[in-house]
Structure 1
Amino acid sequence: MDSNQNQVINVERMQALEAWLTTTQTKITQVNGQRKYGGPPEGWEGPQPGPKCEVFIKHIPRESYEDLLLPLFGSVGPLWEFRLMMNFSGHNRGFAYAKYGSSEVAEKAVRLLHGRQLLPGRPLIVCLSNEKRRLRVTSLPNRVDQDELLQVLYGMVVGVEGLSMESQPPRAKTVSAVVVFSSHHQAAMAKRVLGEAFWKQFGIRVGVHWNSPKMELSEDRLRQRPPRGPPPAPKHGRISHRDSHRSAPRRPPDFCRAVGGPVGGPVSGPIGARRASVRASAAASLQKRCSELGVGQPTFDFSCESTGPDGRLPAKFVVNISRVGVFRGTMRLLPRPTASGCLAAAREVAATAILQWMEVKLIIQ
């Protein structure tokens, strides 16, 4: 624990900060253990900063706040963002990040402000930020497909630029992936939520860590966001019971199979449909979609077998939508602690498969 957390707050310094914020009408937002100015500030002109535009500041005196720091670092050039790390006591944690509009201004800040003293005998350390933008996700099922994992990540967090998979021996049970983000801030926010997101949505435990430069993967193995374009136009017309069987379900994405998705589900939909199915309850989304189309509500029927040698639970599903047809498929689920949990997971898998099929194939005239 920080030994300074029990220090008494200097009331005069806090009053000076509040007076300065009121006089200058500076807006500061408290977000996840930090106070943030800008990002960008009001009236900012110019593009969003690129790489090497951020500086890292440490050895900040504990009772030095934005009323001292923003004018000092803003004297070098306009600030796009300034983030001061805070603890629960109200003291700063001794370090901050300042981001400028260009790498030239950031380098100028390092030259002019490194060693500057806010208090006698307390020189600041100012250097270019390494802006860590890569997270390592570990303990992924060994059958995860790289492109499918990328699509899943797009639906979970923002700022994903690409990823690369780590090579593993053929018999390895898990694999790791390095995920690249557009900014350090987006990577830090993703680090907070990815572990819980994988557990809630797929029932798997993964590790999420900052990627060590020593473990960096080669850029030629990086998978990036595919070019955006209009989804393929679906075929118009009413889908009969017979047509639904003729459009037989095909093998779904490898990622869904690896984490408990259907082994023989309908064809996957466009990227937007897959992202939506990750974010929300698929069963609720399917019911809403059926109501919008006026085709009747889906009824679900499941049958399960004993757990297989890989620890997964084989199951079959039959879903009947009265004005569309009957959907059949199989899945391999990760076991849940209760029967109701298994049923809910199976319902989500089946509903996801049907939603993806409907996005591509089904338009009711």
Structure 2
Amino acid sequence: MTQNSIDQSKDLLISLAKNLNYRVAQENGQRIFGPPLDWNEESVISEKGTEIFIGRIPCDCFENELIPLFEKPGRIYKMRLMIDFCGKNRGYGFVQYFNKEDAQRAVKMLNRFEIRKRWPIGVMLSRNNNRLFFGNLPNNITKQEMIDEVAKHTSGIINAIYYGGPNRTNGFGFVEYENHKMTALARRKFFPGSILLFDRQPKVDWAKSEEEFDDDFVSNNSVLYVRFIKLDITEKHLMEFFSRIHDGQILLNVNRVKKIRNFAFIHYENPKDAQMAYDYFQSKFLHN
């Protein structure tokens, strides 16, 4: 791909945006088409369910070809094409529609569409993650103190969940941001060794679930949080494993288990059983 073709793609995008009355911007390694100029910027459309991911985009394929194609299922709210430092297309992008129905229609219509001969693109609903996991926090802070400390370094926080208390060695929590872009920028800022929270080195990673938890659950010391669980281990396995200690000599009352990808929450009937399980399972392994 030559510099002339890259420059030409920019000119074609600007011309297309002018004809369709859309905004155009370039920031953080992406070219952004939209939203429409007549759209009230304060009326933000949630990305959840309305955005699709496009993969396997040919390196010589740009917005002037993609936008007319992805307008067929419905009107586009915004398109983001990932661009490298040289201005070349990185092979993937995102299209957001005004509603979930158009996004679902786009997946059905355009997944495996041959945009070039024998070159099908991949289209699927985008799994935007607006939440980060924060580990190695003090066990005696409040939810608001956690928000205030993280907000010193990142913006766009809309909610947080904190797990602490005297029965836990360290506290941990989840911070939710306004959108995926802000979440990604926050994760980048908390690169290992870069920022301290409460004079500690935090462990920061993508949260693996969009499930919501209420404050009653957060403050419940009858719940154990378990990470790094193999994907083939089921909730039934976890229920059996975490209800017996000391080779089955002591039975603990597990009310329920909620597994989410590679982590889980073990709900005990009371804090005493949860503490006994915590003390016992610190050095144990499940299925090697």
Aligned to 2:67: 70
Distance 2:194 2:14 in 1: 43
- Whether 1:88 and 2:82 are equivalent positions in the alignment is no
- Given candidates 215, 219, 225, the residue that maps to 1:221 is 215
Aligned to 1:17: 9
For structure 2, the residue ranges without an aligned partner over 5 or more in a row are 219-288
Aligned to 2:27: 31
Amino acid at match of 1:41: P
Q: Decide whether aligned partners of structure 1 residues 149 and 70 sit closer, same or farther in structure 2, where only a CA change above 3 A counts.
A: same
Aligned to 1:175: 171
Q: Decide whether aligned partners of structure 1 residues 121 and 18 sit closer, same or farther in structure 2, where only a CA change above 3 A counts.
A: same
Distance 2:152 2:216 in 1: 19
TM-score (norm 2): 0.63
Distance 1:165 1:217 in 2: 15
Question: As a proportion of its length, which structure holds more helix?
Answer: 1
Deviation of the 1:30 alpha carbon: 2.4
Describe the superposition over 1:181-237 as per-residue Cα deviations: whole angstroms up to 9, x where unpaired: 232122112222345998378654223211123xx776123899xxxxxxxxxxxxx
Equivalenced residue count is 212
Does structure 2 conserve the Cα–Cα contact (< 8 Å) formed by 1:134 and 1:179?
A: yes
SS at match of 1:219: coil
Question: As a proportion of its length, which structure holds more strand?
Answer: 2
Over 6 Å off, 4+ runs: none
Give the % identical residues. Answer: 27
Distance 2:100 2:185 in 1: 24
Aligned to 1:104: 101
- Whether 1:59 and 2:53 are equivalent positions in the alignment is no
Q: Decide whether aligned partners of structure 1 residues 177 and 154 sit closer, same or farther in structure 2, where only a CA change above 3 A counts.
A: same
TM-score (norm 1): 0.51
- Given candidates 116, 120, 133, the residue that maps to 1:119 is 116
Does structure 1 conserve the Cα–Cα contact (< 8 Å) formed by 2:196 and 2:202?
A: no
Distance 1:211 1:201 in 2: 18
Aligned to 2:38: 43
Q: Decide whether aligned partners of structure 1 residues 11 and 206 sit closer, same or farther in structure 2, where only a CA change above 3 A counts.
A: same
Greater Cα offset, 189-198 or 133-142: 189-198
Computed over aligned residues only, the root mean square deviation of the Cα atoms, in angstroms, reads 3.2
- Given candidates 173, 176, 182, the residue that maps to 1:186 is 182
Distance 1:69 1:219 in 2: 39
Amino acid at match of 1:144: I
Deviation of the 1:52 alpha carbon: 0.7
Larger radius of gyration: 1
Describe the superposition over 1:93-121 as per-residue Cα deviations: whole angstroms up to 9, x where unpaired: 21111111111111121122212222111
Distance 2:155 2:75 in 1: 26
